[in-house]
Amino acid sequence: MSTAHDVYYVPAPSKWPVVGSTALFLLAIGMVSLLHWGKTPGLVFLASGFAVLTYMLFGWFGNVIHESVSGKYNAQVDASFRWAMGWFIFSEVMFFAAFFGALFYARQMSVPVLGDLDNQLIWPGFKPGWPSEGPYLTEAFKPMEAWGLPAVNTLLLLTSGVTLTWAHHALMENKRTQLLIGMAATIALGLTFLFFQATEYGEAAFSLSTGVYGATFFLLTGFHGFHVTLGTLMLIVILARCGKGHFTPEHHFAFEAVAWYWHFVDVVWLGLFIFVYWM
């Protein structure tokens, strides 16, 4: 047993990468279809892509969970998982950094330059303030206030980070009831955040096409909302695994990986609240 445990585990050839690639291909075709060939074929391809992707996620992660609980992973595999999750979160940091960079460029460089053009040859009447206004916008709009639902959502996400940390400490101390309560509270806070964000979108006085302000606002907050949705789904899976007793104080990297991801989502929202809503 000790000899087998010291050997780096290499899984058998798997069909799941091919299944996942098929799902992404169908999703891409679906998006192109929506733009060029009409709603019906696009929705068919998109639904097929999501169905195949869901099948892949349950199958592939199910295999990994089974391998983990059966004791096939050792410390070297655990280190590989940690490095992989770390690089994944780094890629996510770069993803959001690009969008924050676009926001900075629009606010601090493009809009002032356009406002200072001699005789404003491109857009007469252009106002260089933020959010930018001009005749290319069909009507005036009111930007999103920071001290309403955004402030409430900030409190919700910060609280969810606390409850998740509380659950992690409970797992380390093998307090299962406290662990389950902390996880359930974190999920409830995440779902409440998503509900309030949907409410905020419904009350917005502008859209994605409302100039550069609307474009940057919905791209940044929309992608963040997608990440919160994904993180909430991951937390639900972890809660189900906690209920089955899968994790121990010594071996629980899947829990830690999701916790890293959730704290990353918290930090990104703080940036959004400061630079998109407040400033």
**17-76 residue pLDDT tens:** 999 999 999 999 998 988 887 778 888 999 999 999 999 999 998 988 888 888 888 888
* Domain definitions of the chain by residue range: 1-73, 74-278
What pLDDT is attached to residue 136? 46
Question: What are the helix (H) ranges across the chain?
Answer: 2-5, 16-36, 39-69, 75-105, 111-115, 149-172, 176-203, 211-243, 253-272
* SS3 of residue 126 by DSSP: coil
Question: Confidence band (pLDDT; 50, 70, 90) for 2?
Answer: very low
Question: Which residue, 11, 32, 13, 275, is CA-closest to 144?
Answer: 275
- Chain-centroid distance of CA 32 in Å reads 23
Which whole number is the average pLDDT over 110-114?
Answer: 65
* Contact present, 52 and 19 (Cβ < 8 Å): yes
Per-residue pLDDT at 6 exceeds 80: no
What pLDDT is attached to residue 71? 81
Per-residue pLDDT at 138 exceeds 80: no
Measured from the Cβ of residue 96, the count of other Cβ atoms closer than 10 Å reads 18
Q: Tell me the Ramachandran region of residue 207: left when phi exceeds 0, alpha when psi lies from -120 to 50, beta otherwise.
A: beta
Per-residue pLDDT at 172 exceeds 90: yes
Which whole number is the average pLDDT over 151-158?
Answer: 94
Task: Pull the structure tokens for residue 187.
Answer: 């999920």
CATH assignment of 1-73, among 1.10.645.10, 1.10.1060.10, 1.10.443.10, 1.10.287.70: 1.10.287.70
Q: How far apart are CA 15 and CA 8, in angstroms?
A: 21
Q: How far apart are CA 59 and CA 27, in angstroms?
A: 19
Question: Confidence band (pLDDT; 50, 70, 90) for 129?
Answer: low
Q: How far apart are CA 20 and CA 26, in angstroms?
A: 10
* Contact present, 116 and 128 (Cβ < 8 Å): yes
Measured from the Cβ of residue 144, the count of other Cβ atoms closer than 10 Å reads 20
Q: Is 38 exposed, middle or buried (0-12, 13-18, 19+ CB in 10 A)?
A: exposed
Task: Pull the structure tokens for residue 223.
Answer: 């992608």
Q: Full-prediction pTM beyond 0.85? A: no
Q: How far apart are CA 255 and CA 249, in angstroms?
A: 11
72: CB partners within 8 A, 6+ apart:
9
Which whole number is the average pLDDT over 207-220?
Answer: 82
What pLDDT is attached to residue 135? 44
Q: CA torsion sign, 175 to 188 to 266 to 273?
A: negative
Query: Which position has the higher pLDDT, 132 or 269?
Result: 269
Per-residue pLDDT at 122 exceeds 60: no
State the chain's mean pLDDT as an integer.
85
Question: Confidence band (pLDDT; 50, 70, 90) for 143?
Answer: confident
Q: How far apart are CA 30 and CA 41, in angstroms?
A: 7
Instruction: Please tell me the total number of residues recorded for the chain in this structure.
Output: 279
Domain 74-278: top CATH class: mainly alpha
